[in-house]
Chain A
Amino acid sequence: AQTVTQSQPEMSVQEAETVTLSCTYDTSESDYYLFWYKQPPSRQMILVIRQEAYKQQNATENRFSVNFQKAAKSFSLKISDSQLGDAAMYFCAYRSAEGDDKIIFGKGTRLHILP
C-alpha cells in the first residue's frame, strides 16, 4: 500500500523568506500524481500544486514550486517570498494512475508565518 510521510509537524518562516516543506512517499507504482494541498484556518482544502510522475520537470505555480525526486521518492514544496496568507496546514498527497484513484494524504505540516 502507498504511504505518504511528512516529517515536519510544524514549521515557521519569516515573512518574505523562503521555506521548504518535506514529503516522502512509498509506492511500487511507476505512474502516479503528487499534490500539495493547503488548509487555512477556514478548513477549506485548496489545491496548491500538482506533479505528474512521468514528467521530469518540476511543477511551478507562482511562488510555489516543487522538487520532485522520483528515485528518492521525495516531493518537497518550496514557498518563496512567504506571505501572512500562506499560514496554513499543508498536506502532501499521492494519487495512483494505475489502480483506484483515491488520494492518500500525509499527516500535514503546520506552517506559521512570522511578521
Chain B
Amino acid sequence: DSGVTQTPKHLITATGQRVTLRCSPRSGDLSVYWYQQSLDQGLQFLIQYYNGEERAKGNILERFSAQQFPDLHSELNLSSLELGDSALYFCASSVVGQGLNYGYTFGSGTRLTVV
C-alpha cells in the first residue's frame, strides 16, 4: 500500500456520461497530481493541486476538471465521455518544496473504460 488511495479501481461507463475519480493523498502530502495513461503509452500530466489551489495545468481537456478539498482529497471529473477517454488515470502525491528530491507516490490507478 503506497498510502495514496484511488477509488474506484475500475469504472465502465457509456459515451456521453460523466464520472468522478477520487484520490486521497499520502498523509502529510499537500500536493496532488493527476495523470492519464492510454494503452501502452506514457503518462500524460493533466493537472496539479497544492493545498487546495490549482498549481499547474497540462494538456487537460475542457471536458475534464478537478478540485482539491480542504481535507486534501482530490476529485477528477470527466464529462461528455468519448471512447478515446478510456485510459488508466493515476493520482500521485508528494511533498513540495525547493530542494526536495522526492519522486511522487502513486496510487494504483483507476481503469476507465468508455463503451
Q: Contacting chain B: which of A17-25, A66-74, A90-98?
A: A90-98
Specify which chain A residues have a CB less than 8 angstroms from the CB of B92 in the assembled complex. 45, 103
Which one of B16-24, B61-69, B70-78, B103-111 contacts A? Answer: B103-111
Interface residues as binary, A88-115 with B (CB distance below 8 Å gives 1, 0 otherwise): 0001010101001111111110000000
Q: Does B84 contact A (CB under 8 A)?
A: no
Q: A43-B88, A44-B106, A45-B90 are contacts. A103–B99 as well, Cβ < 8 Å? A: no
> Are B42 and A91 in contact, CB atoms less than 8 angstroms apart?
yes
A108: nearest residue on chain B (CB-CB)?
Answer: B42
Residue tally, chain B, CB below 8 Å to A? 27
* Cβ-closest chain A residue relative to B99: A97
B99 touches A101 (CB 8 A): no
How many Å lie between the Cα of A108 and that of B94 in the bound state? 22
Q: Which residue of A lies closest to B42 (CB)?
A: A107
B residues near A45, Cβ cutoff 8 Å: 43, 90, 92, 104, 106
Cα distance, A109 to B92, chains bound together (Å): 21
B108-A102 in contact (CB<8A): no
Interface size bracket, A side:
20 to 34
Residues of A within 8 A of B108 (CB): 42-44
Which residues of B have CB within 8 Å of A108?
A: 41-42
Which residues of chain B (31-45) have a CB below 8 Å from chain A?
Answer: 31, 33, 35, 41-43, 45
**Residues A103 and B104 in contact in the complex (CB < 8 Å), given A91-B42, A97-B99, A108-B42:** yes
6 other A-B residue contacts (CB within 8 Å) besides A35-B103, A45-B104? A33-B103, A43-B108, A43-B111, A45-B92, A46-B106, A107-B41
B interface, CB within 8 angstroms of A: 2, 31, 33, 35, 41-43, 45, 48, 55-56, 58, 88, 90, 92, 94, 96, 98-99, 101-104, 106, 108-109, 111
